[in-house]
Chains A and B, each alone.
Chain A
Amino acid sequence: MKRAFPILAIATVIFLGYATYQALVVAPTERTMGDVQRIFYYHVSSAWTAGLLFFINFVASIVYLARRSQKVDALALASAEVGVVFCTIVLVTGPIWARPVWGIWWTWDMRLTLTLVLWLIYVSYLLLRRFSSSGQTPVMAAVLAIFGTLDMPLVYFSIWFFRTQHPQPVMGNGGSIDPRMLHAFFVNLIAFTCFGLLVCWARYRLEVLRQEVEEMQALESLLEVRSSR
């Protein structure tokens, strides 16, 4: 598994380069929005990756409560951290696109608000992990992650009452979209998913190593106390 990491990392970098080329050069310029539309390839891919990582976090939290395995907790932490990064990318690229197209940076539209609330919940999750010093941090964090997931449908319905300004998905209704755009989109989607999972994996490895070091240090200090007697 350890050897696979550099190979996958190189493959992902090459694939990301190809995806960027597709998005910036090959895909045609959108007729009404112009070049700013190209941000869509990164925006949607990041949103998808963030959603996937938060889902991994949710599953890992449930599995942790059932099994109490440290590695699963490391996965929960890694996916939440990397998910917050991708969610931040979504929240930053969105306004950059919205300003020239809608004429405003931000609006309290359904998807925007939903993403922001999701981001807030996961930042509070990371804060809980940061502030909590006891050995029970993983249990508390897992419970909070489940509460956050339970909250999402309620957030969805509460914002559903507001007017929706976000552009509706254009896939699948008629052949209005250029096939090169579609190609660039799917290449970027896969590239960003690989990238997100790769970073998550690296963070996971780091967290597992940190746990091991902590255990070793605890063991060492125990042995020192013994030998000094």
Chain B
Amino acid sequence: MTGSAGLTRATLFKDLRLEWRSKDATNAMLFFALLVVVIFSFSFDPTAEESRRIAGGLIWVAFLFASVVALNQTWARELRNQVLDAYRVSPAPANSLFLAKVLGNFVFVSVLEILMTPLFVIFYNLRALGPAYQLWIVAGLGTWALVVNGTFFAALSLRTRSREIMLPLLLFPISIPALLAMVEATSSILTGEFSAKFWIVLLVTYDLVFTMASLFFFELVLHAE
């Protein structure tokens, strides 16, 4: 077991170090999310009462679009110098590689969320009327839902023409229930009108179902060539 956990750790730290040195994905995601925040803010110009109701949708749409930047470069980076082929011929378990990539993307998107959320709070005058600690749970589960399917579909669309467009086209339809759950949970916590419990349970189910499905099919997708 130490072997596969070690491989996961090695790949994860390699990706984090690469990102720390270049900061390509982080910069692009941050600036992209910032643009979305500003443009939404211009086009809606909401009052504090309204913004509480729409903020859940705005935040998650901004994060969804921005996270595609990180997801797209997950595997594309490994195509250079035939690194992915080396993974394929190596006896290392495919799933530990997949987990490393998912964890890496989880870290990138979480950093984006931690940096962007204060900006949202300032621009939209947000203050949670419901139990605010639940926002952390929703953020964690929602981010996992996005990156686990996103990493999988990035591998799936690796061999298509214009794969950078292909990823959101595959990811967004499947993510609809998760996105709905994130948006509704965030809105109900911010407005404090409803309980977010149902949506959190739905997110947990979504995460479990698609984490298992991805782990089950990833080896097949990696070796398909």
Chain A residues close to B by CB (< 8 Å)? 65, 117, 120-121, 123-124, 127-128, 131-134, 136, 139-140, 143-144, 146-148, 150-151, 154-155, 157-159, 161
Given known A139-B220, A143-B221, contact A151–B159 (CB-CB < 8 A): no
State A155–B149 Cα separation when bound (angstroms): 15
Whether A131 lies near B205 (C-beta < 8 A) is no
Whether A154 lies near B205 (C-beta < 8 A) is yes
Whether B225 lies near A136 (C-beta < 8 A) is yes
Supply 27 A–B pairs (Cβ within 8 Å), ascending by A: A117-B176, A121-B173, A121-B174, A124-B169, A124-B173, A128-B170, A131-B166, A132-B157, A132-B159, A132-B161, A133-B161, A136-B159, A136-B224, A139-B221, A143-B221, A144-B170, A147-B149, A147-B174, A148-B174, A150-B213, A151-B174, A154-B209, A158-B176, A158-B177, A158-B202, A161-B184, A161-B198
Which residue on chain A has the smallest CB distance to residue B155? A140
Contacts of B176 in A (CB 8 A): 117, 120, 151, 155, 158
Chain B residues close to A by CB (< 8 Å)? 149, 156-157, 159-162, 166, 169-170, 173-174, 176-178, 180-181, 184, 198, 202, 205-206, 209-210, 213, 217, 220-221, 224-225
Contacts of A134 in B (CB 8 A): 159, 225
A-B contact count (CB 8 A): 83
Whether A120 lies near B170 (C-beta < 8 A) is no
Contacts of B213 in A (CB 8 A): 146-147, 150
Contacts of B170 in A (CB 8 A): 124, 127-128, 144
Q: How far is the CB of A16 from chain B (nearest CB, A)?
A: 32
State A137–B184 Cα separation when bound (angstroms): 36
User: Which of B169, B217, B225 meets A146, CB within 8 Å?
Assistant: B217
State A147–B202 Cα separation when bound (angstroms): 17
State A48–B184 Cα separation when bound (angstroms): 31
Contacts of B161 in A (CB 8 A): 131-133
Which residue on chain B has the smallest CB distance to residue A154? B177
State A157–B184 Cα separation when bound (angstroms): 13
State A131–B217 Cα separation when bound (angstroms): 21
Given pairs A146-B213, A147-B149, A154-B177, 14 additional interface contacts (CB within 8 A): A121-B173, A121-B174, A124-B169, A127-B169, A133-B159, A134-B225, A143-B156, A146-B217, A147-B210, A147-B213, A151-B176, A154-B209, A155-B177, A161-B184
Q: DSSP class of B's interface residues: helix, strand, loop or mixed?
A: helix
State A7–B204 Cα separation when bound (angstroms): 52
Contacts of A65 in B (CB 8 A): 220
Which residue on chain A has the smallest CB distance to residue B149? A147
3 shortest A-B CB distances, which residue pairs? A136-B224, A158-B177, A154-B177
Q: How far is the CB of A223 from chain B (nearest CB, A)?
A: 26
Contacts of A144 in B (CB 8 A): 156, 170
Q: How far is the CB of B64 from chain A (nearest CB, A)?
A: 15
Whether B220 lies near A143 (C-beta < 8 A) is yes
State A216–B57 Cα separation when bound (angstroms): 52
State A133–B225 Cα separation when bound (angstroms): 11
Contacts of B202 in A (CB 8 A): 154, 157-158
User: Which of B149, B160, B177, B224 meets A139, CB within 8 Å?
Assistant: B224
Interface centre among B174, B178, B217 (most CB of A within 10 A): B174
State A134–B161 Cα separation when bound (angstroms): 9
Contacts of A151 in B (CB 8 A): 174, 176-177
Contacts of B217 in A (CB 8 A): 143, 146
State A143–B161 Cα separation when bound (angstroms): 18
Which residue on chain A has the smallest CB distance to residue B156? A140
Which residue on chain B has the smallest CB distance to residue A157? B202
State A136–B225 Cα separation when bound (angstroms): 6
Q: How far is the CB of A210 from chain B (nearest CB, A)?
A: 19
